[in-house]
Structure 1
Amino acid sequence: MSKVVLITGASSGIGKSIAVFLSEKGYKVYGTSRNPIKSEKLPFELIALDVLKVDTITTAIDFIIKKEGRLDVLVNNAGMGITGPIEDTPTDKMRAVFNTNLFGTIDVMKAVLPQMRYQKAGTIINITSIAGYMGLPFRGLYSATKGALETITEAASMEVKPFGIKVVNVAPGDFATNIAAGRYHTPVFETSAYKENYQVNLDLMDAHVEDGMDPVEMAKAVYKIINKKNPKIHYKVGASLDKFSIVLKRILPDLWFEKLMMNHYKL
């Protein structure tokens, strides 16, 4: 029997790559989008789900369970990016990114857990970020949401393991996707004390995305995790330098690592 997979945020980027890859491997895949458009032929079914609206989460999951009788895998991929100096970024935008990347993801987890407990089996994969392992200048809010999700994943893993459910996260580095177009960018205010440094870093972020890895590498990682009997809790997928930065943060004195990061980000 083919496993039934739900992937949030599957209309583009990493989510779409995972959905296409798993469909080609024979999985029954349901992808989600806030506003699914049937303008292209996809090898998976794209349904409506907005992680900020619990009723749409419930409706989508009920639809899948009614149709398939089970739900084996959740890939929590939907999210939003945000950039800006902490001082200049509007607080309501800070709350919005936490609502999407953290609380919205948690709400989807909560919605699938009763079915997975009933089955006595299931895998939840939360897509976090290597940025979640450290505070990045002008991306501090994004780093914070993904770091929080990493910690939630650790706690949830212990809570649901007695029911046969596995919860893991996959932290990508820079991938060639359209994430930059969907970010909230705090404006580069003419009067801002951070004007020059922030603009330099905006240009660096866009360049990193354009030179990023192929999203299919994330799809391959998810496929391997689904097929592991006892997956780890933390996975990192990205360029060697991305992953090595986590090691450096762990072994270097704080101020050494901070100096290294400031040099990298031209501060």
Structure 2
Amino acid sequence: MSKVVLITGGSSGIGKSMGEFLTEKGFKVYGTSRNPEKYQNSKFPILSLDVKDNVIIKQTVSEIISKENRLDVVINNAGAGITGPIEEIPEEEIKNNFDTNFFGPINVIKAVLPQMRKQHSGLIINITSIAGYMGLPYRGVYSASKGALELLTEAFRMELKDFNIEMTNVAPGDFATNIAAGRYHAPLLDDSPYKKPYGNTLKLMNEHVDSGSNPNLMAEAVYSIINTPKPKGHYKVGEFMQKFSIVLKRILPDKIYEKLLMNHYNL
């Protein structure tokens, strides 16, 4: 029997790559989008879902279960970028980012757990970010939301052991996707004390995305995890130096690591 997979944010970027790859491997894949009507030519069904709307989440999950009578894998991929000096980012935009990147996955997890518990099986994969392992300048809110999801998964893993439900994080580095276009960017204010360093950092971040890795690497990693009987709690996918930066943070004194980051961003 083909495993049934739900991918939030499955209409573009990494989510689309994962959905197409898993479909080719014989999985029954359902993706989601806030505007599914735009993706009539998708290689797998795109359903309506907004991770900030609990009613729609429950409706969509129920629709899949009524069709398939099971739900084997859930990939919390929907997310939003945000940049800017923390001092200048409006509070509502900070809350909006956490609603999407942190509370959104929680809402989806809560909606699917009853079915997985009924099946006494299931796998939930949370797509986080290597940025979630460190507080990055002018990406602090994004780092915090993804870091929070990493820690939440650690707790969830222990709470779900009795039900044979697995959960893991996959933290990507920079990939060639359209994430930069969908980010909230705090405006570059002429009278801001952060104008020059924030402007330079923003340009560097966009260059990293434009020259990022092929999203198919994430698809292959997720496929491997699905076929792993007992997945680890954390996986990292990206260029060597991006993954190695996490190792450096563990072994270097705080001030030295901070200096390395500032040098990287020309601060």
2:230 match:
230
Distance 1:224 1:187 in 2: 40
| Letter aligned with residue 68 of structure 1 | E
Alignment of 1:33-52 (within 5 A): 33-52=33-52
2:198 match:
198
| Letter aligned with residue 79 of structure 2 | G
SS at 2:160 equivalent: helix
SS at 2:244 equivalent: helix
When the two chains are superposed, the root-mean-square deviation of aligned CA atoms in Å is 0.7
1:212 match:
212
Instruction: Detail structure 1 runs of 4+ shifted over 6 Å in the superposition.
Output: none
**For this pair of structures, how many residues does the alignment match?**
267
Relative to 1, partners in 2 of residues 1:123 and 1:39: Cα closer, same or farther, differing over 3 Å?
Answer: closer
Identity of aligned residues (%): 63
| Letter aligned with residue 166 of structure 2 | K
SS at 2:166 equivalent: strand
Residue deviations 1:207-255 (CA, integer Å, cap 9, x gap): 0000000000000000000000111010000000100100000000000
Distance 1:58 1:99 in 2: 17
1:116 match:
116
1:31 match:
31
1:126 match:
126
Distance 1:161 1:43 in 2: 34
Distance 1:38 1:238 in 2: 30
- Give the C-alpha shift of residue 16 in structure 1: 0.5
Equivalent pair of 2:39/2:46 in contact (CA under 8 Å): no
1:164 match:
164
- Give the C-alpha shift of residue 37 in structure 1: 2.3
SS at 1:125 equivalent: strand
Alignment of 1:30-179 (within 5 A): 30-179=30-179
Distance 1:185 1:206 in 2: 11
List runs of 5+ in structure 1 lacking aligned partners.
Answer: none
Relative to 1, partners in 2 of residues 1:114 and 1:39: Cα closer, same or farther, differing over 3 Å?
Answer: closer
Relative to 1, partners in 2 of residues 1:57 and 1:163: Cα closer, same or farther, differing over 3 Å?
Answer: same
2:240 match:
240
| Letter aligned with residue 127 of structure 2 | I
Alignment of 1:179-198 (within 5 A): 179-198=179-198
- Give the C-alpha shift of residue 94 in structure 1: 0.4
| Letter aligned with residue 159 of structure 1 | E
| Letter aligned with residue 17 of structure 2 | S
| Letter aligned with residue 239 of structure 2 | A
| Letter aligned with residue 24 of structure 2 | E
| Letter aligned with residue 66 of structure 1 | S
TM-score (norm 1): 0.99
Distance 1:44 1:25 in 2: 12
Distance 2:17 2:211 in 1: 17
